[in-house]
Amino acid sequence: MTATVTPLGTHLEAEKLRITEIFASIQGESTSVGMPTVFVRLTGCPLRCQYCDTAYAFSGGEWMRLDEIATKVKSFNLKHVTVTGGEPLAQKSCLSLLCKLCDQNYKVSLETSGALNISEVDPRVVKVMDIKTPASQEVSKNLWENIGYLREQDQVKFVICSHSDYVWAKNILAESQLRDRCEVLFSPVMDETDVDQFEAKQLAEWIVQDQLDVRFQLQLHKILWGNVPGK
């Protein structure tokens, strides 16, 4: 019997991912905020953060091959691509997609909850990783080993819901020496329809008063369009 040899690339292209949406918008967060970006939103998430704004991505979606995803991304003719969710790393083939996009010379970032292992993510990818605060109701899901896999190009994000969240995040910042590893982002939790300007201003004032070496950020896309899917 003659063995059938499958070319390496064929296996890669046969991989599929369940996709909620692929769209172009302005990057609303991270250090590339404001850049026109293609977003690839994968379906599914093992977390249920109380402030989640993408619950529509928990289920449903459409199965797409990696080459189909790449073709759709190419159609927007943009340099920046963000793979997000849901929780994108919940689908194993996400790692292959990230590699493929990097191979095609996109500037690729990954938005991840910090609950799943990031050690196998292509080193060319900028990882934007959450650390869940107590008020998220998912603090127990933080995979603390992930801190050791962060690189200088990466970013850690804390979504702050209260003063106790802020104090907790500030303590984690010091204990983990996160600023020695990468940039750190503090974001005020935002209402589904608008920004609570008082809370946002209060967080900014706390950061300045405590002289924290973190970047304050608002979700620019929500300021522009509200909580609208595909924006």
The crossing angle, in degrees rounded to 10, of helices 163-176 and 197-209 is 40
Residue 163 — very low, low, confident or very high, per pLDDT cuts 50/70/90? very high
Query: How confident is the model over 110-131, as pLDDT tens digits?
Result: 999 999 999 999 999 999 999 9
Task: Select from 52, 31, 55, 84 the least CA-distant residue to 161.
Answer: 52
The answer, yes or no, to whether residue 9 has pLDDT greater than 70, is: no
Q: How many domains does the chain contain in total?
A: 1
Distances (CA, A) of 208 to 55, 162, 204: 33, 16, 6
Distance, CA of 22 to CA of 133 (rounded, Å): 29
Taking each continuous run of H as one helix and of E as one strand, the counts in the chain are 6, 9
Report if residue 195 sits inside a domain: yes
The crossing angle, in degrees rounded to 10, of helices 66-74 and 94-103 is 40
Report if residue 230 sits inside a domain: no
**Whole-model pTM?**
0.89
Report if residue 1 sits inside a domain: no
Provide the residue range defining the domain that includes 168: 8-225
Report if residue 139 sits inside a domain: yes
- The predicted pLDDT at position 112 comes to 98
Q: What is the average pLDDT across 206-231? A: 86
Residue 220 — very low, low, confident or very high, per pLDDT cuts 50/70/90? confident
Distance, CA of 196 to CA of 202 (rounded, Å): 10
Report if residue 123 sits inside a domain: yes
Report if residue 92 sits inside a domain: yes
Report if residue 3 sits inside a domain: no
CATH of the domain at 178: 3.20.20.70
Report if residue 122 sits inside a domain: yes
- The predicted pLDDT at position 199 comes to 78
Q: What is the average pLDDT across 23-39? A: 93
Over its C-alpha atoms, the chain yields an Rg (Å, rounded) of: 18
The answer, yes or no, to whether residue 17 has pLDDT greater than 70, is: yes
The one-letter code for the residue type at 36 is: P
